């Protein structure tokens, strides 16, 4: 196996590890940030806290915090997708280079 093949295999493994960690971080965002916030909002709207303060709290959290946490999750998903596409491009380029090298080897093999 050539050095380049080893490097590409290593790069794929690194990207696979990174995407796995990104998925774990997305789950952390969902479970440890977003779910508790929604639970608190559910309790407040369920009557634990009443009045204008409760209404304004729910509005503020719904307007600022939930979308903010959601954007973090979306950024994680986007980065994960971009990394996956980068690996696919790398694999396609590797396949094209290998094909060209085999073609050149055939041409030179026919000459010598």
Tally the C-alpha atoms within 13 A of residue 64's C-alpha that lie toward its C-beta: 6
Name the band, by pLDDT with cuts 50, 70 and 90, for residue 20.
very high
51, exposed or middle or buried, with CB in 10 Å at 0-12, 13-18, 19+? Answer: exposed
Cα angle: 79, vertex 84, 90; to 5 degrees = 125
Q: Is the pLDDT of residue 112 over 80?
A: no
88-108 average pLDDT score: 88
Q: Which residues contact 57 (CB under 8 A, 6 or more apart)?
A: 44, 49
Tokens encoding 65:
């915090």
Q: Is the pLDDT of residue 1 over 70?
A: no
Report the distance separating Cα 1 and Cα 7, nearest Å: 10
Q: What confidence score (pLDDT) does residue 56 get?
A: 97
H and E: helices and strands count for the chain:
4, 0
CATH code for the structural domain at 3-107 = 1.10.287
pTM here is 0.70
Q: Structural domain boundaries of the chain?
A: 3-107
pLDDT tens-digit readout, 21-79: 999 998 998 889 889 999 999 999 999 999 999 999 999 999 998 898 889 989 999 99
Tally the C-alpha atoms within 13 A of residue 86's C-alpha that lie toward its C-beta: 14
């Amino acid at each position: 196996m050539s050095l380049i093949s080893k490097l590409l295999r290593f790069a794929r493994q690194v990207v696979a590890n990174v995407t796995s960690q990104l998925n774990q971080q997305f789950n952390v965002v969902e479970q440890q940030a977003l779910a508790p916030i929604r639970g608190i909002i559910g309790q407040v709207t369920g009557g634990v806290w009443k009045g204008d303060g409760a209404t304004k709290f729910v509005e503020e959290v719904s307007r600022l915090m939930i979308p903010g946490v959601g954007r973090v999750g979306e950024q994680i998903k986007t980065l994960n997708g971009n990394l996956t596409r980068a690996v696919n491009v790398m694999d396609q380029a590797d396949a094209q280079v290998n094909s060209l090298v085999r073609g050149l080897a055939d041409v030179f093999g026919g000459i010598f």
